[in-house]
């Protein structure tokens, strides 16, 4: 199957964007992030899309961005944390190399910060991340062909670990 060399999924704060950039650099391939594609299409930040048009509208833009990226991009692809909640997106990931970047609650909160601008975390960052981790961890696990625990290791090390684990899996 053509398409991205690897797709990164996982919670907000798992490091999909940061590790994805590091991995693309390591491999000398392009990097794409569906959040960036949505922002470019809408011409405004994610928080503005949520405020003005609501989450449903964001999810529709995200669904289209994921479908386009899966069809067009052959490098590293990072999804937004909620993209895999869509059943069509999950089906489109079947048979692809999908890495679930796992992060524990405490470290996810530390990474995104208590004053996060991510609209899904408004109100109580720790409580919202806990709820989303509980709801979505089974979904991330379902779509993943590889699970990498990122707690306590920096982005460059996570990228190196993904590289090594994928190499191992190919051998």
Ligand X SMILES: Nc1ncnc2c1ncn2[C@@H]1O[C@H](COP(=O)(O)OP(=O)(O)O)[C@@H](O)[C@H]1O
Using DSSP, state whether 147 is helix, strand or coil.
strand
Using CB under 6 A, list all residues that contact ligand S3P: 12, 16-17, 35, 46, 80-82, 118-120
Which CB atom, from 6 or from 171, has the smaller least distance to ligand S3P?
6
Closest CA to 100 of 58, 26, 158: 158
11 near 128, Cβ under 8 Å? no
Among ligand X, ligand S3P, Mg ion, none, what binds residue 155 when CB lies within 5 to 8 Å by partner kind?
ligand X
Distance CA 69, CA 55 (A): 21
Kindly identify the residues of this chain, within the stretch 9-68, that bind Mg ion according to CB under 5 A.
16-17
Say whether residue 15 binds ligand X (CB under 6 A).
yes
Residues 119-158 that bind ligand X (CB under 6 A): 150, 153-155, 158
Helix (H, G, I), strand (E, B) or coil at 33: strand
What's the CA gap between 87 and 63, in Å, rounded? 10
Task: In angstroms, give the least distance from the CB of 10 to ligand X.
Answer: 6
What tokens does 22 get? 């590091």
Q: From the CB of 122, what's the least distance to ligand S3P, in Å? A: 10
Per-residue CA distances from 38 to 27, 43, 59, 62, 86 (Å)? 25, 8, 10, 6, 16
Interatomic CA distance for residues 164 and 29, integer angstroms: 17
16 marked as binding residue: yes
59 annotated ligand binder: yes
Cβ nearer to ligand X, comparing 17 with 97: 17
- For position 14 contacting ligand X by CB under 6 A, the verdict is yes
> Binding partner of residue 153 among ligand X, ligand S3P, Mg ion, none, CB under 5 to 8 Å per kind?
ligand X
- Residues contributing to the annotated binding site: 13-18, 35, 59, 81, 118, 136
List contacts with ligand X (CB under 6 A). Answer: 10, 12-19, 81, 111-112, 150, 153-155, 158
């Amino acid at each position: 199957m053509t398409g991205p060399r690897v797709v990164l999924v996982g919670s907000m704060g798992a490091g999909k964007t940061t590790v994805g950039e590091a991995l693309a650099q390591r491999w000398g391939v392009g990097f794409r992030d569906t959040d960036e594609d949505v922002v470019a299409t809408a011409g405004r930040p994610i928080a503005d899309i949520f405020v003005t048009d609501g989450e449903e509208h964001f999810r529709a833009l995200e669904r289209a961005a994921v479908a386009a990226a899966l069809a067009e991009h052959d490098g590293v692809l990072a999804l937004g944390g909620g993209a895999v909640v869509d059943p069509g997106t999950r089906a489109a990931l079947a048979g692809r190399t999908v890495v679930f970047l796992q992060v524990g609650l405490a470290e996810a909160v530390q990474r995104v910060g208590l004053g996060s601008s991510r609209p899904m975390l408004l109100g109580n960052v720790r409580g919202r991340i806990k709820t989303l981790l509980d709801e979505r961890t089974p979904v991330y696990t379902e779509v993943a062909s590889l699970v990498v625990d990122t707690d306590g290791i920096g982005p460059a090390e996570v990228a190196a670990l993904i590289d090594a684990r994928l190499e191992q899996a190919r051998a």
